[in-house]
Chains A and B, each alone.
Chain A
């Protein structure tokens, strides 16, 4: 990879240890993806905020890094493990809370916007079409490329962090127009077309697709289904983008049987103790929809609803939050289903969710069983 004199000097440590580390990461990622140079990016979105996911090693690394590191570009961050306003209600140990606070402080000290959301594309104004960004959260990277008309690779936590510190990223993979053209089409043949169906389609597509994939047989995709598709795809694969319609090259059918197989892989229980909604976190329209669906009904079980803080505040002003809480739902913000310490196998056997991404991480990381069903089915079966 060709570096400018300044980049070369930074790599050698002439501008301090932090930038040397950041350039070391960018060069490794550049070599891995055959980039020939670095290019400027305008916005970094970071993952690795939740203490449950990054552990002591991550917490210590960030505390050390933040002593003198500063982000060079707009930098937003993923959810944490819980929100500080309501954490007292949950039986979390003090060490977790202390370590989470340290991580939060480190990011804020480096200049991060305290968004704590996995849907930056829904809560911030978007730069103009074609702008290069560096998004680590997998659902956000896919959404940014496919819907928001931005350009990003499906970044790793450290490659996005290196972008935040330098304002640069290797010019490779989905940053190149020729890679963005898919060479594989997945044809949606299943009749079911709710958000769960698209989450399963995404999970399947992620397994078979390369960097970019075409989805055909779908005339329109509402935002809920689209987010579900992005999250499913981001969980199972390397694929960082989809287009709608047929592409050149091979076509694979995703039919009822394939959908059932995918569901069988992720669904491990017929029911559960609690319901979780919001991986990815819910946006304002989804909260409004949910409040509407719950009119005159109440959850039979505890239901946790995850959304960004910014959305929660709007939902409260519009009165939707009250409606969800009346029905027995708990609104949580700054955190999400995936790897939250609030769902622990010590006190929960099974979780009901409509999120394919949530289902995968609940089973593998939280170690709980999952009953995966659509939102309409959850409302029908789990409320009265």
Chain B
């Protein structure tokens, strides 16, 4: 299987693909969902309602609360797709009930920024 499901769910939305890893605590404004780190390749963009595609989470463990806050403030991504698992993203998505999958390199690389995708994190499929 090329998709590993960490948090289940089925959503469709526009893929927002980041090249850089995400330090949620530092880089994301929890009240607006906007990326505020000017050195991040998603600087200025909003994560709200997107299917966020990024390599993996880095940095502060409190990023898990940032993910939970995004959900409470209604500006969270609909789902997240990562290349590698990290505990901050996994535990944040688990508590916030944001579907999260780990994709294989081929699957991950095939997702193009700005395209509409359906993530079936019940059966482990990206369409």
Chain A residues close to B by CB (< 8 Å): 21, 24-25, 27-29, 31-33, 47-48, 50, 53-58, 60-61, 136-138, 141, 153-160, 162, 206, 234-238, 265, 338-339, 360-361, 364-365, 367
Distance (whole angstroms) from the CB of B3 to the closest CB of chain A: 12
Contacts of B10 in A (CB 8 A): none
Given contacts A154-B61, A154-B86, A159-B64, 19 further A-B contacts (CB under 8 A): A24-B94, A29-B90, A29-B94, A33-B90, A47-B61, A55-B30, A57-B30, A57-B65, A57-B68, A156-B86, A157-B61, A158-B68, A160-B61, A206-B58, A235-B26, A361-B26, A361-B60, A365-B25, A365-B26
Tell me the bound Cα distance from A57 to B59 in angstroms. Answer: 21
Contacts of B30 in A (CB 8 A): 55, 57
Contacts of A58 in B (CB 8 A): 65, 68-69
Tell me the bound Cα distance from A364 to B43 in angstroms. Answer: 11
Contacts of A162 in B (CB 8 A): 91
Distance (whole angstroms) from the CB of B43 to the closest CB of chain A: 10
Q: Are A29 and B87 in contact (CB under 8 A)?
A: yes
Q: Are A137 and B59 in contact (CB under 8 A)?
A: no
Q: Are A158 and B92 in contact (CB under 8 A)?
A: yes
SS class, residues of chain A in contact with chain B: helix
* Cβ 8 A contact of B91, one of A25, A138, A365: A25
Q: Are B87 and A61 in contact (CB under 8 A)?
A: no
Q: Which residue of A lies closest to B102 (CB)?
A: A32
- Asked if B53 is an interface residue, CB under 8 A from chain A, the answer is no
Q: Are B85 and A48 in contact (CB under 8 A)?
A: no
Q: Are A138 and B94 in contact (CB under 8 A)?
A: no
Q: Are B69 and A156 in contact (CB under 8 A)?
A: no
- Asked if B123 is an interface residue, CB under 8 A from chain A, the answer is no
Distance (whole angstroms) from the CB of A249 to the closest CB of chain B: 18
Contacts of B63 in A (CB 8 A): 156-157
> Would A32 and B90 be within 8 Å (CB), given that A265-B39, A360-B26, A364-B27 are in contact?
yes
* Cβ 8 A contact of B23, one of A24, A32, A54, A235: A235
Chain B, 19-78, CB within 8 A of any chain A CB: 21, 23, 25-27, 30-31, 36-37, 39, 56-66, 68-69, 71-73
Contacts of B116 in A (CB 8 A): none
What are 11 A-B contacts with C-beta separation under 8 Å?
A: A32-B86, A32-B100, A48-B62, A136-B62, A154-B87, A157-B61, A236-B23, A265-B39, A360-B59, A361-B25, A361-B60
Q: Are A364 and B37 in contact (CB under 8 A)?
A: yes
Contacts of A206 in B (CB 8 A): 58
Tell me the bound Cα distance from A21 to B87 in angstroms. Answer: 16
